[in-house]
């Protein structure tokens, strides 16, 4: 019953992620045919052994199945011991050959279907990742998400492949049981009686596999977190000389993972030898029962019981198949549960798209009574109301944690909002298709998001085909021309992970060039110069000022010197609008903005 429940759980898992479990039907079908020929080969083995022992094969004319089979042959074949024996050997060989052909087809089909399943599962998970809101990725470890996408999908696929092999063993066991019943129903009935003892003797091992599987997932996730934290903060580790601490932390969880993996394998590998010991004990008891049946009950013959023993010996692994299947299903349950968490909608922070095509900004954005919080305790934005006008530069400033970037993330539809409204030319922002809306926006962030690819592909990311003439013209405008000339392969130079081969200023110039090539009417800049030196900042600021002309620009600024040309400045404090106006108006008020300005003055 427990296996049935687990099989139903796996079946539900496959259906939930949009994969039809029926893709494995051919594996089962070929496996059944292979198991059938395995049984038939033993059917021919009985008269072969009996013929060797008795010295003739004429008894086949009295055997139900053999009598009908040999009735189709000419009399000169059935009247010769040698010919009958040769035919029996050939038929047995053909059955074994066909069994192996179908076993190969089963294995081939299983591999094809399992790796297709793995590929489909990866694609489904990646598709789910892309549908989640940015807030989900803010709250989850990237290393764990990467492992779910690659490591866990492979792990589950390998286990499912082994499940397919185990199902084949169960099919063979069913065929074996039919043959065993045909040879001696009394001995087989005895096996049925003692098999529950055999099964329950292995159940404790299976339970421990489940426990270790859950511990493995827990410690593996911790190991991924350590890896992610370390590799993304190498400068921090080196500057604080904490290599030894990081190594010890890594070793701790790596050792726990090794221990869990070994414990799972140790218990899984115990099933087969333990099964063989129990089956051997069973065989010894059966020897006594056979002796009793032959010499006291005058039932059966030595040749049949020899084949009975051979089948029983071959079925040693098959007898453990049910327990092995249960162990596999337990081992797969923890990774499957982790992947299942990706396919439920809880805490995925989806940002639903509208259906209207965004026609472009005509007048203004109006943010009305906007509220937002990352948790139930603290509001990041509290009743924010402001206006962002077309073709104007609007700067949003304020102390750290005042909600500046949150407003940008909401305007970019990275975060959704429940309380308040954003009205665009009289229409609710949520009514517009996210794709059509974002096609009108160029985004330049504090961190330039660059792929480990060529400079050309980074410049044209998400834009499509642009002529080299247009590309080079834009590159000159943003000051990247010298960089391209200095690079060994020009635009086709690989720039490294996150653009590590470029300076901070060069990375930002790539972002600005990309925004210009997108030809967006709305520009959103989130502290685009905060991490640059003063010379790079001046260059980037000049480029930003150039591309802002004739566009609606919304600028988050940490350095207030970069917003001198803003048409309007909005000052936030603790998630609320504290002040707004032009630079001179705010300085004359001598309020919060004036204090921030004074703190950044250079003497």
Lowest-confidence pick of 16-25, 451-460, 567-576: 16-25
Give the residue from 343, 378, 407 where a domain finishes.
343
pLDDT band (50, 70, 90) for residue 1: very low
Percentage of the chain lying above the pLDDT 70 cut: 85
The whole-number pLDDT of residue 32 equals 83
Same domain, 308 and 451: no
pLDDT band (50, 70, 90) for residue 58: low
Q: What is the mean pLDDT of residues 554-580?
A: 87
Question: Residue 228's closest CA among 148, 126, 156?
Answer: 148
User: Comparing 22 with 603, which gets the higher pLDDT?
Assistant: 22
Give pLDDT tens digits for 375-386.
Answer: 776 788 999 999
Q: Given the structure tokens 């060529």, which residue do they identify? A: 454
Decide: 461 and 451 in contact? Cβ < 8 Å.
yes
Same domain, 254 and 111: yes
The whole-number pLDDT of residue 445 equals 83
Give pLDDT tens digits for 149-165.
Answer: 888 888 888 877 777 77
Decide: 216 and 260 in contact? Cβ < 8 Å.
yes
Same domain, 406 and 377: yes
Using alpha carbons, list the distances in angstroms from residue 195 to 156, 198, 568: 30, 5, 83
Local structure of 568: helix, strand or coil: strand
Q: Is residue 349 part of a domain?
A: no
Long-range contacts of 42-46 (CB under 8 A, 24+ apart): 42/176, 42/179, 42/307, 42/310, 42/311, 43/179, 44/88, 44/91, 44/92, 44/95, 45/92, 45/307, 45/310, 46/183, 46/303, 46/304, 46/307
The whole-number pLDDT of residue 61 equals 67
Q: What are phi and psi of 422, to 5 degrees?
A: -120, 115
pLDDT above 80: residue 84 = no
What residues contact 575, with CB distance under 8 A and at least 6 apart?
379, 380, 381, 382, 384, 402, 403, 406
Q: What is the mean pLDDT of residues 286-305?
A: 73
Decide: 148 and 339 in contact? Cβ < 8 Å.
yes
pLDDT band (50, 70, 90) for residue 204: confident
Question: Residue 210's closest CA among 268, 161, 256?
Answer: 268
The whole-number pLDDT of residue 88 equals 82
User: Comparing 265 with 537, which gets the higher pLDDT?
Assistant: 265
Same domain, 287 and 321: yes
Percentage of the chain lying above the pLDDT 90 cut: 13
Question: Residue 511's closest CA among 521, 526, 496?
Answer: 526
**CA–CA separation, 286 vs 462, rounded Å?**
73
Q: How many domains does the chain have?
A: 2
Q: Give the predicted TM-score (pTM) of the model.
A: 0.73
pLDDT band (50, 70, 90) for residue 421: very high
pLDDT band (50, 70, 90) for residue 390: very high
Same domain, 158 and 280: yes
pLDDT band (50, 70, 90) for residue 452: confident
**CA–CA separation, 515 vs 463, rounded Å?**
9
The whole-number pLDDT of residue 185 equals 78
pLDDT above 70: residue 584 = yes
Q: Is residue 357 part of a domain?
A: no
Greatest Cα-to-Cα distance within the chain, rounded to the nearest angstrom: 122
Give me the domain span that covers residue 540.
364-599
Same domain, 374 and 287: no
Same domain, 387 and 307: no
Same domain, 44 and 136: yes
Decide: 577 and 383 in contact? Cβ < 8 Å.
no
Q: What is the mean pLDDT of residues 566-591?
A: 91
What residues contact 172, with CB distance under 8 A and at least 6 apart?
34, 35, 38, 39, 315, 318
Q: Is residue 189 part of a domain?
A: yes
Same domain, 333 and 415: no
Lowest-confidence pick of 51-60, 91-100, 477-486: 51-60
Q: For residue 581, give the CATH number of its domain.
A: 3.40.50.300
Same domain, 295 and 152: yes
Using alpha carbons, list the distances in angstroms from residue 278 to 1, 305, 348: 23, 20, 50
Q: For residue 288, give the CATH number of its domain.
A: 1.20.1560.10
Give pLDDT tens digits for 232-267.
Answer: 667 667 656 778 888 888 899 899 988 888 888 887
**Would you say the C-alpha torsion 132, 134, 140, 145 has a positive or negative sign?**
positive
Same domain, 65 and 185: yes
Lowest-confidence pick of 58-72, 299-313, 510-524: 58-72
pLDDT band (50, 70, 90) for residue 300: low
């Amino acid at each position: 019953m427990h296996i049935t429940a687990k099989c139903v759980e796996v079946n539900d898992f496959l259906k939930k992620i949009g994969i039809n479990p029926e893709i494995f039907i051919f594996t089962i079908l070929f496996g059944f045919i292979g198991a059938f020929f395995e049984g038939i080969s033993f059917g021919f083995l009985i008269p072969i052994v009996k013929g060797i022992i008795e010295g003739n094969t004429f008894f086949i004319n009295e055997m139900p199945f053999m009598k009908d089979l040999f009735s189709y042959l000419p009399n000169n074949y059935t009247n010769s011991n040698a010919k009958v024996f040769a035919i029996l050997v050939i038929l047995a060989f053909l059955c074994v050959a066909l069994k192996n052909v179908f076993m190969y087809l089963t294995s081939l089909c299983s591999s094809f279907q399992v790796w297709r399943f793995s590929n489909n599962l990866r694609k489904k998970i990646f598709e789910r990742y892309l549908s989640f809101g940015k807030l989900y990725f803010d709250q989850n470890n990237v290393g764990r998400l990467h492992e779910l996408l690659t490591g866990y999908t492979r792990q589950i696929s390998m286990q499912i492949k082994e499940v397919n092999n185990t199902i084949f063993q169960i099919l063979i066991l069913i065929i074996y049981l039919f043959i065993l019943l045909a040879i001696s129903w009394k001995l087989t009935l005895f096996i049925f009686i003692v098999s529950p003892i055999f099964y329950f003797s292995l159940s404790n091992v299976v339970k421990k596999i489940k426990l270790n599987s859950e511990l493995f997932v827990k410690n593996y996730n911790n190991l991924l977190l350590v890896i992610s934290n370390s590799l993304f903060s190498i400068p921090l580790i080196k500057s604080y000389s904490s290599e030894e601490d990081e190594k010890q932390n890594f070793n701790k969880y790596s050792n726990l993972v090794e221990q869990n993996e070994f414990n799972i394998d140790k218990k899984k590998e115990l099933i087969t030898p333990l099964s063989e010991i129990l089956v051997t004990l069973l065989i010894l008891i059966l020897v006594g029962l056979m002796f009793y049946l032959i010499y006291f009950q005058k039932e059966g013959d030595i040749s049949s019981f020899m084949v009975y023993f051979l089948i029983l010996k071959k079925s040693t692994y098959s007898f453990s198949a049910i327990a092995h299947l249960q162990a596999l299903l337990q081992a797969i349950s923890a990774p499957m549960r982790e992947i299942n968490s990706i396919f439920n909608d809880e805490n995925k922070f989806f940002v639903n798209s509208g259906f209207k095509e965004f026609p472009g900004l005509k007048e203004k954005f109006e943010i009305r009574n906007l509220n937002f919080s990352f948790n139930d305790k603290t509001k990041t934005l509290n009743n924010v109301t402001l206006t962002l006008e077309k073709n104007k530069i609007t700067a949003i400033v304020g102390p750290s944690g005042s909600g500046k970037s949150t407003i940008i993330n909401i305007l970019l539809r990275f975060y959704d909002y429940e309380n308040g409204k954003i009205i665009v030319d009289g229409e609710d922002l949520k009514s517009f298709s996210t794709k059509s809306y974002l096609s009108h926006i160029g985004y330049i962030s504090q961190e330039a998001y660059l792929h480990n690819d060529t400079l050309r592909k980074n410049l044209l990311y998400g834009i499509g085909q642009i002529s080299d003439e247009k590309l080079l013209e834009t590159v000159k405008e943003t000051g990247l021309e010298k960089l391209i000339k200095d690079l060994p392969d020009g635009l086709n130079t690989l720039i490294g992970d996150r653009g590590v081969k470029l300076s901070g200023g060069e990375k930002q110039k790539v972002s600005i060039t990309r925004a210009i090539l997108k030809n967006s009417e709305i520009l959103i800049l989130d502290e685009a110069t905060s991490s640059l030196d003063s010379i790079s900042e001046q260059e980037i600021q000049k480029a930003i000022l150039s591309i802002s002309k004739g566009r609606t620009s919304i600028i988050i600024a940490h350095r207030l010197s970069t917003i001198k040309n803003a048409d309007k400045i909005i000052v936030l404090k603790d998630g609320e609008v504290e002040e707004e106006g032009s630079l001179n108006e705010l300085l004359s008020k001598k309020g919060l903005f004036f204090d921030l300005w004074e703190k950044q003055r250079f003497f």
